[in-house]
Structure 1
């Protein structure tokens, strides 16, 4: 995380923008990333603290239920009502399937879908593990049901896929006592970034073709548009592969067909374009290493069903889903970074030392003088060779 926050200095200096530009960008990046990570590291570095965070995420999702339902019916207007402007300029992206996709007070409807997905996932696992039974004197299963229905009404296809994937990983871990599916997903993300950033091999056409039979034409067109822009941006980023192009729009590429700037939708392409391979590696390691360490060094999948360990496990899976979502989007939310800091804090805590087992003293090591033995614990030597308490001596 430290390298991810200070890499703008190297990018700015190597591009001739000066040390001042690099330091100012580092400060901004530290407030966005390092500060919540640091707070999680020092305040959420225990299982009990992660339980409180999980309950807080679930309550935060419930707080968004009436707001989402309002905007699903009335269109995204809350941000405009309270702040005088819509959160996202293109209102057309709020229209989905003959209805509206809520934005509430977040940056985009995709961010709301991701947030409701994580809250639903956490709620499901709080219910399954029995971490909490009731909330506000209401059984948690009814609250989870209300949250799930609202999540479905948010009309975010990508969030649907992430919830299905994360629930599958959690229940496979519970049933088969293995975190292998999660490890494979993290390895797949690493391979995807390596192939796209370090090589000129593009398999996005095959991926779009395989998904065309599953999702509707609008979603496939949106995915293809993202991949086409990423190819242009990646080719441009490879011109400065180590430290990137730094800021001020230097990492953007021009679409030769339209003459317009290619859109930077994904967080990974922003990191690679601005900060090069150094920034990209630092970012993916910061997001993945806490999860890998938690499940390989601390709490294996066989403990995910426990009510105490389960809350940390589900937040770690949620962090992985957020990282996976950043391969297509760039919706920064400090809650996930806070959880990552807490998971890192749990991993680095010293293990509880096992109680030392004292070897029983042999007869040769026994004190010879009765003065060395307390009055209430004096023993006398019996014919069997054992020391007997005073009250068991034979008369």
Structure 2
């Protein structure tokens, strides 16, 4: 059944581009695939990457663009804003070659990284490069969270995993948090679900406050957003609670006080964390000792274990500091007999270990440069239209995802798609019709 669903999804995406306007078709394709398709993947002859729900979506969107909207490719004009994502996509080749893994491994790894990160960014650049496209994305994310809400409540009440029920296999063991079942629905685990519901709830609040959506089927949007917020809380992804709170505070304080100080503060904190982690001077034990004054030491064991792992993994990564160790688990530490003795929990330590400092800097720059660029060229004082506020909220959500990547490692292509869309908006500001700073480039007409 899983194979049949993934094969059938390809023509369905092509049909969506026939049935709907391109921006809406793109958003529907991405959100539906991410939320509802199986987690299975398999190899296809002649395809250098695994065929799964997202690679099927990317390939189908590219085919539909070639068939029905080929002029869309002409929208793309390379800019220095695109350098970080290009560097990150090409990094695996340098990592493989500097570690003697061969050109074939380098080529296949590069294709895989390009498919996972470069393609969704590129599609965002060419399709969501205006405020209308970002509004479509925000609405799609919100509706995706709304469709997921009853499924989350079902799993919480019944302890039945819908992915296992429908697709006949589960991604992991049952997840119990605070004495209750934590749902995952069709996603990898409860942490991935929590981050998704965080983004959907953030979009719901902003769409409500900007009056972009006033009601759904005669139900006031305020009630619907309240329902979504309650569901988000019941998902029990406590880390995502902080992300949502920070995202909301960033947007609200920017509107009220015309400042983006909190956003800049959080991003600055991320860079300090990464810098200390890379040089091996992160005060992990000192932080644990301080927190024991306020929390139960047993609850801090997981955090202490994470800090210890990152310290030893960072030390090994510094042995190949420029391009890392490449694939095949060479970034890990092993004991006699070949047993792994370390765990890579966060994207930053994975990127640093596999692709080195070049990979680490490029991936976080690719995530955060669109955020910094948007908030610089569209400061809160220029938020004279709801569309700008919605785009700013997407940027805040992308920043929260980057913050989550400092602690976890769950790639989500919809955030990468959003980053490409934000970059496209920045590069065509002259034609957007909203006040902003001096354009970076003139739009090619």
**Can you list the C-alpha shifts for 1:236-292, whole angstroms capped at 9, x where unaligned?**
111100010000000012379x96420111001000000000100111110111111
In the aligned structure 2, how far is the partner of 1:295 from the partner of 1:223?
32
Q: Is residue 40 of structure 1 aligned with residue 119 of structure 2? A: no
Contact 2:131/2:432 (<8 A) preserved: no
TM-score (norm 1): 0.84
Aligned to 1:348: 427
Query: What is the match of residue 224 of structure 2?
Result: 143
Determine the C-alpha separation between the residues in 1 that align with 2:298 and 2:425.
Answer: 43
Match runs of 1:109-258 below 5 Å: 109-197=190-278, 199-212=279-292, 219-254=299-334
| Pairs aligned (count) | 348
Q: In structure 2, what is the equivalent of residue 385 of structure 1?
A: none
Q: Matches of 1:65 and 1:222 in 2, distance apart?
A: 29
Question: Is 1:269 paired with 2:349?
Answer: yes
Query: Rg larger in 1 or in 2?
Result: 1
| Structure 2 counterpart of 1:313 | 392
Q: Give, in whole Å, the separation in 1 of the partners of 2:383 and 2:302.
A: 36
Distance change in 2, residues 1:165/1:208 (3 Å):
farther
Distance 1:24 1:284, change over 3 A: same
Q: Classify 1:157/1:35 alpha carbon distance in 2 versus 1 (closer, same or farther; 3 Å).
A: same
Relative contact order (alpha carbons < 8 A, sep ≥ 6): 1 or 2 greater?
Answer: 1
CA deviation digits over 1:344-377, x for unaligned, max 9? 00011152499xxxxxxxxxxxxxxxxxxxxxxx
| CA distance in 2 between partners of 1:141 and 1:25 (Å) | 46
Aligned counterpart, 2:168:
84
Provide the secondary structure at the position in 2 that maps to 1:7: helix
**CA, structure 1 residues 214+64, in 2 after alignment: closer, same or farther (shift >3 Å)?**
farther
Structure 2 partner of 1:280: 360
Q: CA deviation at 1:302?
A: 2.5
- 1:107 counterpart SS class: coil
Could you tell me how far apart the structure 2 residues matched to 1:266 and 1:76 are? 28
Which residues in structure 2 correspond to 1:297-308 (within 5 Å)? 297=377, 299-304=378-383, 306-308=385-387
Query: Going by fraction, where is helix more abundant, 1 or 2?
Result: 2
CA contact (8 A) 1:120 1:147 kept: yes
Indicate conservation of the 8 Å contact 1:71/1:77, yes or no: yes
Tell me the CA shift for residue 83 of structure 1. 2.0
Question: Which residue does the alignment assign to 2:15?
Answer: none
Which of 131, 143, 163 in structure 2 is aligned with 1:59?
A: 143
Partner secondary structure for residue 238 of structure 1: helix
Q: Structure 1 residue 336 and structure 2 residue 420: aligned?
A: no
C-alpha separation in 2, matches of 1:207 and 1:344: 36
CA distance in 2, matches of 1:108, 1:210: 30
Secondary structure of 1:327 counterpart? helix
Decide whether aligned partners of structure 1 residues 212 and 48 sit closer, same or farther in structure 2, where only a CA change above 3 A counts. Answer: farther
Counterpart residue number, 1:322: 401
Offset of 1:227 from its aligned partner? 1.4
Greater CA drift, 71-80 or 272-281: 71-80
- Superposed displacement of residue 135, structure 1: 2.2
**Shift in alpha-carbon separation, 1:295–1:308, aligned structure 2, 3 A:** same
Deviates more, 1:127-136 or 1:96-105: 127-136
Structure 1 residues 76 and 186: alpha-carbon distance in aligned structure 2, compared to 1, 3 A threshold: farther
Which residue of structure 2 aligns with residue 107 of structure 1? Answer: 188
Question: Aligned-residue CA RMSD in angstroms?
Answer: 2.0
Structure 2 Cα separation of the partners of residues 211 and 37 of structure 1: 39
Separation in 2, partners of 1:353, 1:108: 39
SS at match of 2:334: coil
Taking structure 1 as reference, are residues 219 and 286 closer, same or farther at Cα in structure 2, changes over 3 Å only?
A: farther
C-alpha distance in 1, partners of 2:237/2:299?
Answer: 10
1:17 matches 2:101: yes
Distance in 1 of aligned mates of 2:383 and 2:342: 43
- Among 104, 111, 114, the alignment partner of 1:27 is 111
